[in-house]
Structures are given as structure tokens and as C-alpha cells.
Structure 1
């Protein structure tokens, strides 16, 4: 993949990724206390659940790619941070090689900032399928976070671990059955991360126009920031091609997350005895009100936008599958033209009318 621009500058080459991974690992929150037996059991059950989830997911989705079932990689928080930094470097045009030198001072500053962000995220992520991993796609499961959440929810650990794997394995199946998806993401990311060569005044001018045209409401001394506002601010400083690329990525992310949520609920009752209780408690946890600082960080990092992807995407998939069945729904994976357009996510009948 390449996200090089006319000037040869990319975001991936502007960040000291080695520093990001090292610093992020040091800043990561301590993991929940657990005995060696508990950690070993979680490790083994997650690995087994990742294997056992594959065939039910393939059967429900109809996405039969036919390959062998790959092993998941069970990791702790620092290991996830290192893997995420590697993936982000590849996604943003920095390549995989450690000998790629970023800009000296700015690279270290950007690396430190990225490491801090990864450290914050590392305590909340349960799992992730990385289509850009070195050597091919890789499923990562963060076992300390799984232990922490199942304790908070007070659910059966074995059931919860299988439930988590159903979601993440669905992402693995999506990408392995449709290899073009990774290239589609790569091209959109290339546009987002390239140096457009614009003068700073042009960027600042768009930002000023955005702020001038919108009223910023402040209540109780809290910043009135939500996922829409932050994305709007991001779009305001982007060129038109970058805005279009961002829209493509957001729509694809909404589809992938919603499809995984739909599959979790479709497969769940057959393989997770306590699935109804897990779903209810997990949804309550998602909706729980956060302290002001936590809410601000979630908004800035796009966490709230991610939550919106789950609900809007699932509503889209639920509607289409209920109307036409999973087999006809799978026309969505044909190519980039059959993916939903931004307006169709919230009006799935428009996608049915256009594509089917």
C-alpha cells in the first residue's frame, strides 16, 4: 500500500512509531489483578473460542472463503499497542521496516502523542481484526480487558469470551472472504494521510468558516463536544477528496460493525447459553454516562462515533436481512459500488432499491 503524495510526505513517515509503541506500553494502565491460573484459562479459552466461532459465523453469514481457520493471537495491553502501532504505520504509508526514519523533532512529538492515545485505547479494546498486519490479516484478542469487562458485567467468563470472539471472528471472515475490502480501505486511507500540498492559510480559512457557521454550546462548564462535532471539525480542515475518503471509511466501518453485531445475535443463542443476559448488560455498559474528562477524551478519539457505528450499522443490516434474506444481502460485498452510500445507512430501503 502507498499513500505517497507529490512531495513524498505521508503521515506514516512523520511519526516515530517505535517511540509510540515503547511509550504507549509504558503509559498503559495496569492490568486487572489475576492469578496465573486465571490468565492461563482466559488465554486458552479465547484461543479455543476464536477457532470454534469460525464455522458458525461462516454458516450464518454465507461468507464461505474455504481457507483453513487461522489462530488468533492472544495479547496483553503493551503487545496490542505494539501491534497497533505497526498496523497504523503501514496504513498511513510508513511501511513495515523499522529503518524508516521519521522527521527528527516533529516525528518524536507525533510519536509521543500517538503512544499516549494508544495507551488510553488499550485498556478498553477487547479484540480487533487487523487486515494490514505484517504477513497478512491477524486477529488480536486482549485478554486482560476481557477479564476486566466480564468481571464488571458479572457474566459467565466462558460465555462472554465466546461472545466476544463471535464479533471479532466475523470481521476476520468479512475480510478473508472479500479481499478487496482491505484494498478499498487502503486507497481511502492513502487519500486521508497524504500531503495535499495546500497552503496553511487555506486550511485555516476553512476551519474559521466552520467555526463561524456553527454555534458552540457550553453547558455547566463542559465542552459541548460529541462525535458529530469532532468529525465535523475534522472535515472542515480537509480537502474535498479527503472528505469523500473519510465518508467512505465511516460508511464501511458502520457496515462492518453492524454486520458483526447482527451475526453475534444470530449465532449467539446456539453457542452462548447466557447471550441474552450478556447483550443486555453489555449494552447498558455502552450507554453508561462517563465523567466529563472521559467524555471529552472519548469524543476526541472517536469512541462515541464508534458506538454510533454499532447501533446504526446493526439497524441497517437487521432491516435488509429481514426484508431480503442474508443471501441477497451479501450482494453488498460485490465491490465498492454496492457498499451503502452515506444516506443509505439510515434509510436501508434506498440501498435495497438501488442495488437489488
Structure 2
């Protein structure tokens, strides 16, 4: 399934002075060759899906503003409806922009890729993007240049994946479209209504990368201990995925930087998951059914799909959604949405990684 969308703007030279971490153009090309095609639908069905996604992206943001109080004075813009190939190109572009911004803050000259090389890493990134390109329903990328105003950032809605997921779940099309748009519109408001959030995220990543100065030999020397840690851990029967191994191989400073990034992403994803359900059946009549079937689908899949989710850390991402949503629900229940919105007042008010699983601790620290 393909859809008309805005053409990606010319790539700026935002990475001047920063080392390229990998060949993102090759990553996008590799993903495009490997990725499966979308569901077969008629031209009229595809056109209707695109129109509804554009309409819902505007309506959804209005509902999110009313619930959260964020961005009430900002212009409401349509989301960009894209196909799988367009999402891959945009995702590669956004990752290139983000890593370029982060690497500009590095003062060392170490090679982040060791002996792998930018092209080899590009192929590997393409393999990951080819898998995600068939799964991602939508995405707000705050680092993509926008052609709809002065603020950077694009809201992408992947039409074939949304149609395929809705067919698999057997839920009302209009309800599911709105439900997905509520989540992504929440992300757009998070970054556009909180002026410091975009730079804070990039700076946090820059701090993480600035500590990646270990030689391949030093990293390999940590591997036996990391493996023993996995085997001896309380969840030794499950794979930690890429994220878990990265954490185990890091030194203390790197883990602290990663903790900040994971805490922020847990908050952002959990807040969006909470909002998409909290808007309620007045907006999405079948919201309870959609959430139940969507959760079951997240946990299912064939053997290969489950293996890939484990290796890529996607299962850990799903747990992150649930953890962040539980944090949000607890805080909103205790102090209301206005009290929850204290998280957006300054970086110091963001929850720590430990506090995302202990919202009462965040409440004591921020609200006394």
C-alpha cells in the first residue's frame, strides 16, 4: 500500500564537523530492498485510509491538548502519511540528524565503529530498519526538518502498517486510526510544548557517546563478566536483547548516561500510552477492545518474530511502555494532570530511571 506524502526536504549539512557513525543512505537502501510489501487494498481503500489519517491527526491533537493542557497556543498541523519505504528513508534521516547533533559535542577522535566501518554498519542498520519498517505504526521524530513551519520535527503515520494492524485486530477502522494518532500527537506536543526537551534529549545522547572511548579490546574484556551476569541474574532464562548487553558492557559513567535516556523515553512513551486510552470511549468507542487485542498481539507472533523482538530489544521497549504508563497513571491519580505536568517544567523534574518504577518517590521529591 502506498500513499501520497510530502517529499523529504533536501538534506542540510547539519553534520559538518561530526564523524558519521554509519552510512545511513546505505541503511535506507538496504531496508528498502529487504522489506516486505504492505497489505493488498484497492486504490479507493488506500485513498480513504490516507484521508482519514490526515483528518484524525488534526482531531487527535485537539483531544490531547484538552486532556493534557499542553501546547494550547500552538498551531495544529496535519501528520505526514507515508508508506513503508518513505518511513525507512525518514527514520534513517532522523537518526543521521540526531547522531550528528550528538557527535558534534564530542571532543575526542575515537572511532565509534572500531573495525566495522560505516558501510558495514549501514548494512546492519538496514536489516533492523527492514524489520521495523513493517511494524511501526507512527512516529514523531523531533530531529527531522519540517516543511510545515519553523520548528523542526515531523509526525509520520505509516499507512500500510496501520491498515495491516487494524485488519489483524479486527477493530473499527476509524477508532483504530484515531487511537494511533492520539499516541503520536502526544509525542508531537511533548516536544513542541516543552521548549528544552529536544535539546535535552540530544545532549543526553551526546553525553553517552562522549564516553564511548573504550577500545574494542577493553569492551571484549568485559564480555565474560557480562555473560556471567546474564546467567546468574534473576531472569537468566530470558534474553536481555541488544539493550541489555549494551548496559552490561558499559562502564559506570556510560550506564548513568543511558539511565537518563531510558528514563526519559519511558516517560514519553508511557505518557503517550496513557493519553491514548485516557481520552476515553467518547472519542474512541472501542478503546477497551483495541487495547486488549493490541496488547495480546504485542505478546504473540511467530517464532521468528519473537526471536527478532528479543534480539532487537523490542520486548524491552514494550515493557517500557507499560512501566511509563503505570508511572503516569499513578501520578495523575494522586495529583491530577496539572500535578503530573511538573515533569515538563525543567530537566530536574524528570523522573530518574529508578523513579519510573517508584512514582511515589518522584512525588515525594517534586511535590513534597
Tell me which residue corresponds to 1:220.
none
Q: Which stretches in structure 2 are left out of the alignment for 5+ residues?
A: 1-12, 103-111, 147-151
Cα distance in 2, alignment partners of residues 139 and 305 from structure 1: 24
SS in 1 for 2:41: coil
Structure 2 length-normalised TM:
0.86
Contact 2:21-2:99 within 8 A present in 1 as well: no
1:99 is matched with none
Given the alignment, which residue of 50, 56, 62 partners 1:55? 62
Alignment-derived partner of residue 133 in structure 2: 122
1:180–1:3 distance in 2 versus 1, CA, 3 Å: farther
State the shift of 1:204 in Å.
1.7
Of 11, 19, 25, 1:18 maps to: 25
C-alpha distance in structure 1 between counterparts of 2:116 and 2:328, whole Å: 46
| Alpha-carbon distance in 1 for matches of 2:74, 2:168 | 36
Would the aligned equivalents of 1:65 and 1:176 in 2 still touch at CA under 8 Å? no
Aligned to 2:9: none
Q: Does 1:340 align with 2:356?
A: no
CA contact (8 A) 2:241 2:312 kept: no
The aligned length equals 338
Per-residue deviation, 1:179:
2.3
User: Hey, what does 2:95 align to over in structure 1?
Assistant: 88
Task: Give the match's secondary structure for 2:81.
Answer: strand
- Which stretch shows the higher mean deviation, 206-215 or 29-38? 206-215
Asked if the contact 1:210–1:233 (Cα under 8 Å) also holds between the matched residues in 2, the reply is yes
Distance 1:345 1:105, change over 3 A: closer
CA contact (8 A) 1:14 1:107 kept: yes
- The within-5 A match list for 1:186-197 is 186-194=202-210, 196-197=212-213
* Equivalence for 1:277: 289
Q: CA deviation at 1:208?
A: 2.1
The answer (yes or no) to whether the contact 1:171–1:256 under 8 Å persists in 2 is: yes
Paired position in structure 2 for 1:315: 326
State the match for 2:10 in structure 1: none
In the other structure, the counterpart of 2:265 is: 253
Matches within 5 A, 1:104-183: 106-135=117-146, 136-183=152-199
TM value normalised by structure 1: 0.88
Q: 2: distance between equivalents of 1:214 and 1:124?
A: 28
Contact 2:241/2:311 (CA < 8 Å) preserved in 1? no
SS in 2 for 1:272: coil
Q: Deviations over 1:280-329 (max 9, x none)?
A: 211221222x3333222112212111100111111111111001111111
- Contact 1:65-1:173 at 8 Å conserved across structures: no
Cα distance in structure 1, aligned partners of 2:120 and 2:153? 29
CA RMSD in angstroms comes to 2.5
Q: Which residue of 1 aligns with 2:227?
A: 211
Distance 1:153 1:163, change over 3 A: same
Q: Structure 2 CA distance, aligned partners of 1:105 and 1:149?
A: 36
State the match for 2:75 in structure 1.
68
Q: State the secondary structure of the residue aligned to 1:215.
A: helix
Partner of 2:261, secondary structure, is: helix
Mark the CA change 1:3 to 1:334 in structure 2 (over 3 Å): closer, same or farther. farther
Q: Which whole-Å CA distance do the structure 1 matches of 2:277 and 2:24 have between them?
A: 37
Compare 194-203 and 268-277 and name the one that shifted more.
194-203
Q: Which residue of 2 aligns with 1:243?
A: 255
Structure 2 distance, partners of 1:118, 1:34, is 24
| Partner of residue 338, structure 2 | 327
Q: Which residue matches 2:362?
A: 351
Give runs of aligned pairs for residues 215-234 of structure 1, distance below 5 A.
215=231, 224-226=237-239, 228=240, 230-234=242-246
CA shift for structure 1 position 108: 1.4
- Offset at residue 330 of structure 1 (A): 0.5
Q: Assess if the C-alpha contact under 8 Å between 1:3 and 1:190 holds in 2.
A: no
Structure-2 change in CA distance of 1:86 and 1:3 (3 Å) = closer
